[in-house]
Amino acid sequence: MAAFSLRSFAPMLIRSVLFVSLLCASFFFDSGEAGAAHRVVDPEWHPATATWYGSADGDGSDGGACGYGTLVDVVPMKARVGAVSPVLFKGGEGCGACYKVRCLDAGICSRRAVTVIVTDECPGGVCAFGRTHFDLSGAAFARLAVAGHGGQLQNRGEISVVYRRTACKYGGKNIAFHVNEGSTSFWLSLLVEFEDGDGDIGSMQLKQANSAQWQDMKHIWGATWSLTPGPLVGPFSVRLTTLTTKQTLSAQDVIPRNWTPKATYTSRLNFA
């Protein structure tokens, strides 16, 4: 047997170590870039103004321009809903996005921020002329104050706040698709519910049974999208792409063949 030579082995060992090091460096760089591309959380606070509506301790308005209907009255949306000015509503594409809002008066405001979900639009008045404004539920607005001073803060009406984008978290719920009333095999309208992460929708596509083709759905209003060419044959798969970070999720055969209007079909998926 030939004698083992460390001198002859050393170059091969060095090349192996360098290869592994470069491979690891490449992996961590790619992972970091992917993480940055998919980050919805905004670390910066931005100036805005806020008011409140509804009853002083209420959950805000019923329904709203986003089309969530009675979902705004129950957990996890309950008391966290808010109407926003057009710059944040984005023609309805901002529906479902989540923001942290904090008021600035150290004498009456709490240091904590409240998390609100965009469910409605505030189109005029203090929300007009390109202003960034939040019209919050009475309950959410009161929580901006230190304990026991919610009513006093509400008496001020409009206040200065800071806000930043945050990831939506719906506590273990998966994305659901509500088939809107009036849907037929020639006009299918879907409302998207409980989208974690970005919360917003940039595009939506549908694939019919026994088809490999994804058909682009049209944004109607709020979180509602539709498809008109028919007849449409289920089961349907739905693919979502978020507006902010362009993440994509596909729910296969989430809507059954025997779907019915006003029914809600829950997927097994959600964004991280």
Q: What is the pLDDT of residue 172?
A: 85
* Adjacency order of strands within the sheet including 248-255: 215-216, 203-207, 236-241, 248-255
110 pairs with which residues across the strands?
A: none
Q: What is the pLDDT along the chain (272 residues), one digit of tens a residue?
A: 444 343 343 444 334 433 333 333 332 222 233 343 456 788 899 999 999 988 888 766 667 899 998 888 888 888 788 899 999 999 999 999 999 999 999 899 999 999 999 999 998 899 999 999 999 999 899 999 999 999 999 999 999 999 999 999 998 899 999 999 999 999 999 999 999 999 999 999 999 998 999 999 999 999 999 999 889 999 999 999 999 999 999 999 999 999 999 999 999 999 97
What the block records as the tokens of 82 is 């808010």
Q: What's the rounded Cα separation, in Å, for the pair 90 and 92?
A: 5
Asked whether the beta carbons of 158 and 144 are under 8 A apart, the reply is no
The structure's pTM equals 0.82
DSSP 147: T
DSSP 7: H
CB burial class (10 A; 0-12, 13-18, 19+) of residue 196? buried
46-60 burial, b at 16+ Cβ within 10 Å, e below that, comes to: eebbbbbbbeeebbb
Q: Note if the bond before 11 is cis, omega within 30 degrees.
A: no
Q: Which residues, including other chains, have CB under 8 Å from residue 190's CB and lie 6 or more apart? A: 177, 178, 179, 180, 204, 206, 217, 224, 225, 226, 238, 255
